[in-house]
């Protein structure tokens, strides 16, 4: 984690820089009133609702995966002037801080969450609330202790940095390997499937997967129970159907579960689904590029022309360049392991600049004519420079 390695000496220095607060709030003060300036030190923001000997620390304890946790740190501006929070930086993506204070007129003023902007300016004596939300579905390593932190930077002369700490242990009954159903490049005409295996995380936990309750996105899903080495596991398969529009698609599969004794209803378990719908035939990489070619020596790069449809093969009838320097460059497509008719699933592409290249900058389209009735023409950009 970004701030997890603060040394004990630094933490102690930060805590010791806080002023003595034994005077406390004046009797009869309400939450809409500011504390009298005369009772202050000059210690920046100071915690007022500490529940442990570590005032900037909160322990959520053991929580279930899927919970959305919140804790509010209550502070007060102990400066004799307005204090500006420059930024609030969480240590991981699961943690989101938000700050506000109650103005003298009783209105709540909320800080900005926009990057590059100062968060909020707090009047002297104002009572401040920093609410920290933790989304347990974004905790990367469940079933282990986690310390999430938020570093708060202010313009205080004496205590410009404070670090809020939140401990939790997220209990997740199941794990999916891999953690996402990533279909990757999915041919448009054929669709594609991906599989993940789900098992119980903690030995001795008797939780069970019951069924698929919801599939989000343009996918279908199938769940099968199996056994390996005496342990149950579940095979989850997601499929993108043929004919989806080109581009990225995403969704998820939600499964119902039991409690850890194998009975009743447990927390839902969800697995994300990702896919990139592409043409049936693609060139990888997607741009043929030669950079800073030495004209005296020439240069070449290699790529692949791939048929993504399972079992599919093509024959490249012609390969040519359309654009600048097309007469000075060479494009070749060689079939890899072709059949008797010269058709192959993969063709090696050679994009070549010889010693006769005289053009400084060149660009255009590489064109491959194929015998595939659905994609008789495959194109990809080419570009480059020479010296």
Residue 331's nearest CA partner among 280, 373, 378 is 378
Beta bridge partners of 275: 249
Q: What is the chain's length?
A: 387
- Confidence at 27, pLDDT banded by 50, 70, 90: very low
Report the pLDDT value the prediction gives residue 163, as an integer from 0 to 100. Answer: 95
Contact 349, 288 (CB under 8 A): yes
Task: Report pLDDT digits (tens) over 43-96.
Answer: 789 999 987 788 999 999 998 887 899 999 999 999 989 999 999 999 999 999
- Confidence at 334, pLDDT banded by 50, 70, 90: very high
End-to-end CA distance of the chain: give it in Å, rounded.
46
In whole angstroms, give the CA distance from residue 73 to residue 71: 7
Report the pLDDT value the prediction gives residue 116, as an integer from 0 to 100. Answer: 85
Report the pLDDT value the prediction gives residue 37, as an integer from 0 to 100. Answer: 39
Residue 151 pLDDT greater than 80, yes or no: yes
- Confidence at 203, pLDDT banded by 50, 70, 90: confident
Report the pLDDT value the prediction gives residue 238, as an integer from 0 to 100. Answer: 98
Report the pLDDT value the prediction gives residue 21, as an integer from 0 to 100. Answer: 34
Please tell me the class of the 174-276 domain: mainly beta
184 membership: H or E segment, kind and range: strand 181-187
Q: Name the 3-class secondary structure at 17.
A: coil
Report the pLDDT value the prediction gives residue 5, as an integer from 0 to 100. Answer: 38
Residue 33 pLDDT greater than 50, yes or no: no
- Confidence at 162, pLDDT banded by 50, 70, 90: very high
Report the pLDDT value the prediction gives residue 171, as an integer from 0 to 100. Answer: 84
The model carries a pTM of: 0.64
Mean pLDDT of the chain: 87
CATH code of the domain occupying 281-386: 2.60.40.10
Report the pLDDT value the prediction gives residue 357, as an integer from 0 to 100. Answer: 86
CATH code of the domain occupying 8-171: 2.60.40.10
Residues 254-279, mean pLDDT to the nearest whole number: 92
Residue 240 pLDDT greater than 90, yes or no: yes
In whole angstroms, give the CA distance from residue 233 to residue 81: 61
Task: Report pLDDT digits (tens) over 164-181.
Answer: 999 999 988 898 999 999
- Confidence at 204, pLDDT banded by 50, 70, 90: confident
In the chain, domain spans: 8-171, 174-276, 281-386
Beta bridge partners of 335: 347
The residue with tokens 């495959």 is: 378
Are 8-171 and 174-276 equal in CATH topology?
Answer: yes
Report the pLDDT value the prediction gives residue 141, as an integer from 0 to 100. Answer: 84
111 is written with which tokens?
Answer: 């800080």
């Amino acid at each position: 984690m970004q701030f997890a390695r603060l040394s004990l000496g630094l933490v102690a220095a930060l805590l010791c820089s806080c002023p003595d607060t034994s005077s406390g709030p004046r009797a009869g003060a309400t939450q809409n009133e500011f504390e009298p300036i005369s009772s202050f030190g000059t210690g920046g923001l100071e915690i007022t609702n500490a529940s442990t000997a570590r005032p900037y620390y909160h322990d959520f304890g053991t929580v279930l995966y899927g919970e959305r946790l919140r804790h509010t740190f209550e502070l007060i501006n102990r400066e004799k002037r307005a204090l500006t929070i420059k930024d609030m930086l969480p240590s991981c993506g699961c943690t989101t801080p938000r700050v506000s204070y109650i103005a003298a007129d009783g209105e709540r003023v909320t800080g900005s969450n926009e990057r590059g902007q100062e968060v909020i300016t707090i009047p002297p004596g104002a009572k401040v609330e920093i609410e920290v939300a933790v989304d347990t579905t974004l905790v990367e390593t469940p079933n282990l202790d986690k310390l999430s932190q938020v570093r708060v930077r202010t313009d205080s002369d004496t205590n410009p940095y404070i670090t809020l700490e939140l401990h939790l242990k997220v209990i997740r009954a199941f794990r999916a390997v891999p953690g996402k159903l990533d279909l990757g490049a999915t041919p448009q005409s054929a669709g594609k499937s991906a599989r993940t295996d789900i098992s119980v995380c903690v030995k001795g936990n008797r939780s069970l997967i019951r069924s698929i309750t919801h599939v989000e996105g343009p996918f279908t899903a199938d769940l099968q129970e199996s056994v390996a080495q005496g342990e149950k596991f579940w095979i989850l398969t997601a499929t993108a159907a043929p004919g989806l529009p080109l581009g990225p698609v995403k969704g998820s599969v939600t499964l119902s579960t039991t409690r850890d004794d194998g009975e009743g209803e447990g927390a839902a378990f969800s697995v994300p689904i990702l896919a990139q719908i592409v043409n049936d035939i693609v060139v990888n990489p997607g741009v043929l590029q030669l950079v800073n070619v030495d004209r005296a020596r020439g240069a070449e790069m290699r790529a692949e022309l791939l048929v993504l449809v399972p079992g599919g093969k093509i024959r490249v009838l012609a390969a040519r360049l359309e654009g600048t320097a097309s007469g000075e460059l060479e494009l070749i497509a060689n079939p890899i392991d072709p059949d008797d008719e010269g058709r192959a699933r993969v063709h090696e592409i050679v994009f070549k600049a010889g010693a006769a290249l005289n053009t400084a900058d060149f660009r255009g389209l590489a064109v491959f004519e194929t015998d595939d009735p659905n994609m008789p023409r495959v194109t990809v950009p080419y570009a480059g420079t020479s010296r």
